[in-house]
Amino acid sequence: MGKNGGMSKTWSNWAGNQIAHPVAISHPTSEAEVSEIVRSAAEAGHTVKVAASGHSFTSAALELQLEPI
C-alpha cells in the first residue's frame, strides 16, 4: 500500500482543527501503487479520499457520515 501504508489511528490537518479516523493512510510513490490502493479499497467496500499535504482549514479531506432522509 505504498510507503507507511496500513492502519492509522488518527489523521489531522496541520492546524489540528480537522480530525479523521481513516481505515488506512497510504503514501504511494508511483501510479501503480495508487492503482493498487484504489483497487484494494473498492474490493473491501471502502472509498479513497486524497488529503494531499493536509493544509486545508476546511473539512474537505474528511469523510462525512450522512444520515438517510
Residue 68: is its pLDDT beyond 70? no
Residues 6+ apart with CB under 8 A from 53: 14
Strand partners, 20: 11
Give the helix/strand (H/E) hosting 20. strand 19-20
Tell whether 59 is covered by a domain: no
Structural domain for 3, as ranges:
1-53
* Residue 39, pLDDT score: 96
* Residue 44, pLDDT score: 92
Q: How many domains does the chain have?
A: 1
Tell whether 5 is covered by a domain: yes
Tell whether 58 is covered by a domain: no
Tell whether 32 is covered by a domain: yes
Tell whether 65 is covered by a domain: no
What digits encode the pLDDT tens for the residues 6-65? Answer: 444 787 877 887 888 888 888 899 999 999 999 999 999 988 888 766 565 666 666 655
